[in-house]
Structure 1
Amino acid sequence: MSPIGSEPYVLWSKRPGWEDLEPVPQNDAPDSLVPIAYDEFYRDAMDTFRAIVAKQERSERTLEITKLIIQMNPGHYTVWKYRADTLLQMQTNLSAELDLLDQLVKHHLKSYQVWQHRRTIVLALDDPSRELDFTAKALALDAKNYHTWAYRQWVLLHFWSSAAGARSASEEQRTVWDGELAYADKLLEEDLRNNSAWNHRFFVAFESGMGGDCGDREIRYAKEKLAISPNNPSAWNYLRGTLKRLQRPLSTCSAFAKPLALNTPADLPAGEPPISDKAELPAWLAIEYLADAAAEDAAAVKASEADAEQRRSDKAKEAADLFRSLEEFDPIRRFYYEFCAKRAESLLTPVTVCA
């Protein structure tokens, strides 16, 4: 029977317009230990495809047989490559190929080959006009799909990047990148723990060349989200990453983190984002942040500074105590926190001045 209907199946070599092809069977090793049990439809299609490759044929029927095979096996990179070469050589309607990919990607979001083929077609068209909308629809199906995010960022960098920065960027470039900030924000409004959206916002802010002096803006943004959900690891990682990018110590934001750690929202410094009355306090991730900040400060003390040994000792002990307190909140990682505490205590050794 046919795989798509009730009519009897007809071999490709017996169909009108295909009679000149002699199917080429797969060259399996004799007495192979683990032969693959292909069904007759796939085997016949592949035997026909190998016959076309043997002739190096680039034609409409090449496109027909490769379309069928990739629908049955979207991971067959050889078939994808041959199809792409055929499309480009025939100079066929590449927009129609994108229409086909629009449908295929819905069912094969995790196929490397589908995304690579789309990249090839878009490069040939030199037209990314439908790609941001397309990836947004794909992300609506799976908001954390790696392939979709990687493809979207490739489109942005390839077609709208500006090494010279915001001042020399075109209005179109600025509009696109500003839209990406809004898009990432929209996804985070829907799910504050969408680590992929956090990653994309960081990419847009710091890797696009379009953000200008955006560091303080991004610190403020992370704080606003932490004031809503202070036990969100994605937001804390974003804050850490932003400070590292700006080469600022973690203690820059310790005054913000302390009220979250101590459950004292009234002590929040003036000008900081107000803590939501629905925030889960005390926030143990704020305690971890303060512990890391104290350990970082201890390690940064220089021997030439006044009272260096005392300040280093105080910060190291503070870090160790905070790490050990975390065992109550996250007992599964208690051995990790003990390791962190001992590593902080190792900083208690006397500070020596190099000759």
Structure 2
Amino acid sequence: MDERDVARPAYGRGYEEDVRALEESMRMMEDGVEASSDVDVHALARGMETSARVIETCGAHYTAWAHRWRCAEALAGDAGDGKMAVLREEAAYAARATTSNAKNYQAWNHARRTMETMGDEADVGDRARAFEHVDAALASDGKNIHAWQQRAWLVSRFNVWDGEDAYTRAMIAEDVMNNSAWNARFYWAKHMFDRGDEEVLDRETAYAREALESDAENESVWSYLRGLRDFAETSPAVDDDTATRISEFVLAVARAAASGKSPSRHALLVLADRVAAEAVRDRDLDRAADARSLFGALATIDPLRANYYAVRLDRLESALRASM
């Protein structure tokens, strides 16, 4: 930064000195690597401290986070029995960083790297603290996608799926429009099916239908139903009878929500998509006419997205011409 900067960030007076110290620490580490010699432990500690000062001023400073991790990784590798102490401190550091900036993806990435490096050496306490970190972020903002991604990784990494039913159900009860919670529940449901729970798809479609009773325009729930249906229809592990049953259930829910004086636009779109796909697949001009009628109805009740429905109609016509 210099006097020619058009819009100079309002950093504190010591920030530029901290950045220069960071750059010097990075050069020292590179010199040590090129010389194939161990970098001084005290130099690594200073590099971490310097990175922390830069991060304190600019929490999204990618280079500072990357350098801090490189120093911490080297320090952990040189610490022997103290390796886990170094990594636990880094996990705590990342947790503190997300307290003030909960959507700082560098901090969440740092937390994940820490747990990855712990590997099988992570004990029950380490895992509990990792979940507590996520829970604290979601308690503040239930839709924090970074926290949800971290939770998904932790659940998969440590194979602790059994608590996800209750957890996602509680988050959805708190906010039924929490798309991140529905998304997490979808991957839990898929895992349960893969683990041998053949009835989970029926239970989950019924669960989603109940959620629509309070708000038929909840797009998160319609996305969930679409996901369950698509999984049932495309997964080779799902038998034909189950796939047909789930598909017909979703269509029945859509027909019910699309009828009456206030039809749901999401329900109409589910129907329009299916009718259009069948028209192209079967080269059925009557079904194509039905699809046009549905898209026309969508444009009428949802004029804000009229152009989108017009594009969908154009795609239908193009697909029909190509199939004939």
Cα distance change, pair 320–251 in 1 and its aligned pair in 2 (3 A): farther
Cα distance change, pair 58–321 in 1 and its aligned pair in 2 (3 A): same
Q: For residues 67-117 of structure 1, give each alpha carbon's deviation from its aligned partner in whole angstroms, at most 9, with x where no partner exists.
A: 333222332234323342354133352333333322211122232321222
Cα distance change, pair 255–120 in 1 and its aligned pair in 2 (3 A): closer
Three-state SS of the structure 2 residue aligned to 1:241 is helix
**Counterparts of 1:119 and 1:257, CA distance in 2:** 40
Where do residues 60-99 of structure 1 align in structure 2 (5 Å cutoff)?
60-74=45-59, 75=61, 76-88=64-76, 89-90=78-79, 91=82, 93=85, 94-99=87-92
Query: TM-score, structure 1 length as denominator?
Result: 0.69
How far has the Cα of 1:348 moved from its partner? 6.7
Three-state SS of the structure 1 residue aligned to 2:128 is coil
Q: Residue 51 of structure 2 contacts residue 65 of structure 2 at CA under 8 Å; is this kept in 1?
A: no
Structure 1 residue aligned with 2:15, among 42, 55, 71? 42
Q: Residue 95 of structure 2 contacts residue 111 of structure 2 at CA under 8 Å; is this kept in 1?
A: no
Unmatched runs of 5 consecutive residues or more in structure 1: 1-27, 161-175, 265-280, 302-308
The residue number in structure 2 matching 1:106 is: 99
How far has the Cα of 1:201 moved from its partner? 0.9
Structure 2 residue aligned with 1:293, among 247, 259, 274? 274
2:223 is the counterpart of 1:237: yes
In our comparison, the structure showing a higher alpha carbon Rg is 1
Structure 2 residue aligned with 1:58, among 17, 38, 41? 41
Unmatched runs of 5 consecutive residues or more in structure 2: 30-38, 234-242
Cα distance change, pair 96–315 in 1 and its aligned pair in 2 (3 A): same
**Counterparts of 2:145 and 2:22, CA distance in 1:** 31
2:154 is the counterpart of 1:182: no
**Counterparts of 1:351 and 1:103, CA distance in 2:** 58
The residue number in structure 2 matching 1:142 is: 141
Three-state SS of the structure 2 residue aligned to 1:178 is coil
How far has the Cα of 1:321 moved from its partner? 0.7
The residue number in structure 1 matching 2:35 is: none
**Counterparts of 1:350 and 1:45, CA distance in 2:** 63
How far has the Cα of 1:342 moved from its partner? 4.8
The residue number in structure 1 matching 2:303 is: 331
**Counterparts of 1:215 and 1:257, CA distance in 2:** 17
The residue number in structure 2 matching 1:272 is: none
Cα distance change, pair 328–45 in 1 and its aligned pair in 2 (3 A): same
How far has the Cα of 1:239 moved from its partner? 1.0
How far has the Cα of 1:135 moved from its partner? 0.7
**Counterparts of 2:75 and 2:158, CA distance in 1:** 22
The residue number in structure 1 matching 2:251 is: 254
Report the AA paired with residue 296 of structure 2.
R
Q: For residues 178-217 of structure 1, give each alpha carbon's deviation from its aligned partner in whole angstroms, at most 9, with x where no partner exists.
A: 2112211111111121111111111212157446322222
